[in-house]
Structure 1
Amino acid sequence: MTHALDATQPLWFYDFVSPFSYLLLEQHEKWPNLPFIPTPVLLREIYRHWGQRSAYGVPAKRWFTYRHALFRAEQLGIPFKMPPAHPFDSSAVMGLALTMGADTACVREIFRFIWREGRDPSTAEGFASLGERLGLSDGAARAASDEGQAQLRRNTDEALALEVFGVPTFRLGGQLFWGEDALPMVLYCARTPNWLESKEVKRISALPSGLGLD
């Protein structure tokens, strides 16, 4: 049985395929002191829904994305090693995380397996190794992953209903904060929530498009 997201709670949306989700979670001690719920969603489905082309589908943007992730890791002093192939299919490992509770400690361990050790959880060998790391046999890990797929689909559908358009994304007070570099904005708004109700924020949020776009 699946359960609905509690949109009244602070949520943190991620996908294990995202290096910036890893980098943001490694800065967890800087997050606002709020009970953010780690919520896995399928980034490829989010792109598909909004008609976006992923960065990985544009060669020059793909290379820049990897270089930028490495630069940010070095700048922040966070260990970083790309997996052997990217993008990879993250659905099985996110299903596994969900059935294991998807708490911060579990999610961090999986992220580090991928982005600190440079492992690919979408291969049979990588998935089995990750299962062992988490204390599960390969068969138990795969069964857990299968059980989590329905919840993963529901998470993604409900995230889209909340207008999530990428990861990592914080949702706080009904507002979305996208990207690893949005952390200072999240911190500011957690301390000063009235800023989002300021005259200028409301004005720019309601600007019409000069190109007639929605």
Structure 2
Amino acid sequence: MKQITCYIDFVSPYAWLAFEQAPRVLEGLSYQLRYKPVLLGALLKQHANPGPAGIPPKREWTYRHVTWLGHAQGCGLQMPARHPFSPLPLLRLALACSDDGHVNRFTADAIFRHVWLGGQDANDPARLSALQELLGEQIRPDSQEQAKALLRANTDEAQARGVFGVPMFEVDGKLFWGLDGLPMMRAYLDGDGWFADGEWDRAASCASGLDG
């Protein structure tokens, strides 16, 4: 059984789309998929990346694209009332349901749906209260400080492993980024010869034209 880690931040629409799509892409394989919340803003800052929301024309395209993808996939996606928003309350709530930095699919699904279905304010206090009630007994008593520590640890681990965005899937030390990285990961898990022939490393060894 393959162990797959999926790094997520609920502020990312592509994380929601990949979360919904992954079980279909991986159908028929023996695997365990674990979800690890991280702070996307810290990953972007590390590489001086403003993210798509920081480039106005790209922001408009991204919102149109992800909304269409939600329609095309059949999972739905409506932009929340404001975006980007601070994901910290949602990340900490998710990790309040954890004792090891991972969250189960029910928890992740509830929070993704809270953000990406309905077009409402993700951080509206009344809605956050309702979400907390939905998660109910999964939330561990006196977990607030532990949740903060887990988020810091998860984000530090992601940075150390080379995670630069979300969603990012890690299997056998290999990183597959984004919704459109899912077919590539499936090919790897199916034993595609491209990986065995060393193309994975050769492709990344191309000299940078930005140097010097």
Q: Which category of TM-score, normalised to the shorter sequence, fits these structures?
A: 0.7 to 0.9
Aligned residues with identical type, % of pairs: 34
CA distance in 2, matches of 1:81, 1:130: 18
Structure 2 runs not aligned, ≥5 long: none
Letter of the 1:129 partner, please give it. A
Letter of the 1:171 partner, please give it. E
CA distance in 2, matches of 1:58, 1:209: 24
Which position in structure 1 is the counterpart of 2:95? 98
Q: Which shifted more, 8-17 or 149-158?
A: 8-17
Q: Which shifted more, 29-38 or 164-173?
A: 29-38
Q: Which shifted more, 100-109 or 119-128?
A: 119-128
Is 1:126–2:127 an aligned residue pair?
yes
Compared CA separation, residues 47 and 54, structure 1 to 2 (3 A): same
Does the 8 Å contact 2:81/2:122 carry over to 1? no
Deviations 1:80-99 (A, max 9, x none): 21111011111121111112
Which position in structure 2 is the counterpart of 1:149? 148
TM-score by length of 1: 0.86
Deviations 1:35-63 (A, max 9, x none): 12100000000001112111111111111
Does the 8 Å contact 1:131/1:141 carry over to 2? no
Deviations 1:155-190 (A, max 9, x none): 000000000000001001111100111111111111
Shift in Å at residue 30 of structure 1? 1.4
CA distance in 2, matches of 1:192, 1:81: 36
Give the one of 21, 43, 46 matched to 1:46.
Answer: 43
Does the residue aligned with 1:201 lie in a helix, a strand or coil?
A: helix
Letter of the 2:208 partner, please give it. S
Which position in structure 2 is the counterpart of 1:13? 7
Alpha-carbon RMSD across the aligned residues, in angstroms, is 2.2
CA distance in 2, matches of 1:134, 1:25: 18
Q: Which shifted more, 28-37 or 86-95?
A: 28-37
Does the 8 Å contact 1:94/1:145 carry over to 2? no
Shift in Å at residue 145 of structure 1? 4.4
CA distance in 1, matches of 2:83, 2:188: 34
Compared CA separation, residues 145 and 194, structure 1 to 2 (3 A): farther
Letter of the 1:85 partner, please give it. R
Does the 8 Å contact 2:38/2:155 carry over to 1? yes
Letter of the 1:149 partner, please give it. K
CA distance in 2, matches of 1:9, 1:184: 17
Compared CA separation, residues 145 and 120, structure 1 to 2 (3 A): farther
Equivalent residue runs for 1:20-169 within 5 Å: 20-32=14-26, 33=29, 34-101=31-98, 102-135=103-136, 144-169=143-168
CA distance in 2, matches of 1:143, 1:113: 23
CA distance in 1, matches of 2:180, 2:144: 31
Shift in Å at residue 65 of structure 1? 0.8
Compared CA separation, residues 141 and 85, structure 1 to 2 (3 A): farther
CA distance in 2, matches of 1:158, 1:49: 13
CA distance in 2, matches of 1:13, 1:44: 13
